[in-house]
């Protein structure tokens, strides 16, 4: 080979190296050419995780041949359509914005098992109540002049007859769980303008004279109600807050918070347990509510709006506004997902507001409302296929 030829070949390779080396370095550093903008941009990352795991991921309509949990690297900046799906489950789809040199997270994607509810106990729907912590259900069965109060434990599947009371046809029976544990059940009977309240041991059915004393007192004044706490050291009451006049009852709540419910006016008030300059955390209309398990977020609805109040950040977020009345609410434990019922359906809505909140219909029926999620099962009262009672719907295997 002639010297001139060798010099030309060497020059070609040298020029090629000078061109290729920066390209390789830029490519390795995550830079890509964006044909849409005609610019070289640095890419971003998508972090995706789902319940259940091993769900297939598609990006902008193209399968990635990967499953969750996954890190999708070298994604061009901009909005991307992400779809996560698994056989036998509802799919999840959303537009997510990816930025240069940053990671976009969607680490709590929930897919719901596609299955039909099963009937656990057939019963009338006149009076029902779930315990928000244990999921224990209480319900009344009325036959003639007698009303039987039953409980059902979803963990043990045990049904227990708690009480049997004589009532007339015009009487209304209301049940409640006034304690943080499910050991006590209150039975309120309203008949002829007269209201009576009885407390029973939910495990034995034995009558209780009253609830155990609370260190919080409510004192009705001329134009307001004083909320106070007894100071054991001084044997006196310390005023925590003054709230508007109402028929309040103390309700179980997270540490550091005193919760009052006015069931007549359908209102809840949250008060700081240590009082302070601004003791009232929340004063809102609430027909239905439930505390997040092991958390300080309150899910509540005034009947048409769905809210989440976070006591740790003192923020109140509207999740959705509905044209049909809300008949029940519940948390999906360990996930940023809430459930709400309307008379004809139960829905799950994610709290992630990016590109709107994904909503999945879980149950279709009638008379739907009171519900609770225990582990990965939804328990609810309603009417399905002309049968009324307590149902269970598995959300995940």
Question: Cβ-count burial of 158 within 10 angstroms (0-12 exposed, 13-18 middle, 19+ buried)?
Answer: exposed
Choose among 238, 186, 199, 242: nearest CA to 216. Answer: 238
Task: Say whether 118-212+286-394 and 43-110 share the same fold.
Answer: no
Distance (Å, whole) CA 177 – CA 139? 12
* Residue segments in the chain with a per-residue pLDDT below the cut of 50: 14, 17-18, 20-29, 32-33
Whole-structure pTM value: 0.87
Burial 302-329 (b: 16+ CB within 10 A, else e): beeebbbbebeeeeeeebbeeeeebbbb
From its phi and psi, is residue 366 left (phi > 0), alpha (psi between -120 and 50) or beta?
beta
Distance (Å, whole) CA 197 – CA 124? 22
Please state which CATH number belongs to domain 43-110: 2.60.40.1120
3-class DSSP assignment, residue 117:
coil
Per-residue pLDDT, 27 = 45
The domains of the chain are located at: 43-110, 118-212+286-394
For the stretch 15-54, pLDDT in tens is 554 454 444 433 444 554 455 555 567 899 999 999 999 9
State how beta strands 280-285 and 288-291 pair: unpaired
Decide if 308 contacts 297 (C-beta within 8 A).
yes
For the stretch 107-141, pLDDT in tens is 999 999 999 999 999 888 878 999 988 999 999 88
Per-residue pLDDT, 6 = 58
Domain at 118-212+286-394, CATH from 1.10.3720.10, 3.90.1170.50, 2.130.10.10, 3.90.1150.10:
2.130.10.10
């Amino acid at each position: 080979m002639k010297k001139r030829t060798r010099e030309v070949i060497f020059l070609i390779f040298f020029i090629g190296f000078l061109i290729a080396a920066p390209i390789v370095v830029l490519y390795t550093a995550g830079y890509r050419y964006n044909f849409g903008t005609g610019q070289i941009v640095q890419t971003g990352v998508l972090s995706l995780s789902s319940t259940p795991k091993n769900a297939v991921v598609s990006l902008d309509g193209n399968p990635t041949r990967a499953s969750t949990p996954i890190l999708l690297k070298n994604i061009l900046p901009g909005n991307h359509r992400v779809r996560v799906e698994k056989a036998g489950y509802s799919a999840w789809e959303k537009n997510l914005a990816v930025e240069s040199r940053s990671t976009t997270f969607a680490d709590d994607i929930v897919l719901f098992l596609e299955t039909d509810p099963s009937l656990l106990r057939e019963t009338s729907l006149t009076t029902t109540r779930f315990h928000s912590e244990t999921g224990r259900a209480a319900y009344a069965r009325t036959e003639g002049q007698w009303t039987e109060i039953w409980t059902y434990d979803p963990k043990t599947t045990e049904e227990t007859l708690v009480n049997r009371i004589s009532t007339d046809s015009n009487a209304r029976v209301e049940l409640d769980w006034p304690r943080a544990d499910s050991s006590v059940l209150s039975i309120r009977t309203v008949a002829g303008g007269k209201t009576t309240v009885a407390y029973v041991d939910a495990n034995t059915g034995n009558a209780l004279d009253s609830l155990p004393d609370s260190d919080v007192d409510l004192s009705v004044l001329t134009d307001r109600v004083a909320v106070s706490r007894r100071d054991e050291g001084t044997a006196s009451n310390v005023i925590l807050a003054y709230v508007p006049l109402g028929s309040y009852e103390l309700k179980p709540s997270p540490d550091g918070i005193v919760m009052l419910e006015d069931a007549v006016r359908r209102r809840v008030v949250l008060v700081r347990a240590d009082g302070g300059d601004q003791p009232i955390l929340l004063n809102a209309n609430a027909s239905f509510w439930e505390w997040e398990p092991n958390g300080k977020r309150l899910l509540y609805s005034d009947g048409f709006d769905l809210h989440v109040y976070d006591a740790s950040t003192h923020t109140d977020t509207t999740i959705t506004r509905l044209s049909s009345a809300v008949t029940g609410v519940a948390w999906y434990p360990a996930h940023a997902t809430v459930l709400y019922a309307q008379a004809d359906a139960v829905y799950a809505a994610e709290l992630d507001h990016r590109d709107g909140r994904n909503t999945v219909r879980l149950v279709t029926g009638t008379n739907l409302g009171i519900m609770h999620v225990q582990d990965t099962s939804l328990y609810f009262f309603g009417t399905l296929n002309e049968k009324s009672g307590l149902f269970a719907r598995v959300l995940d295997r």
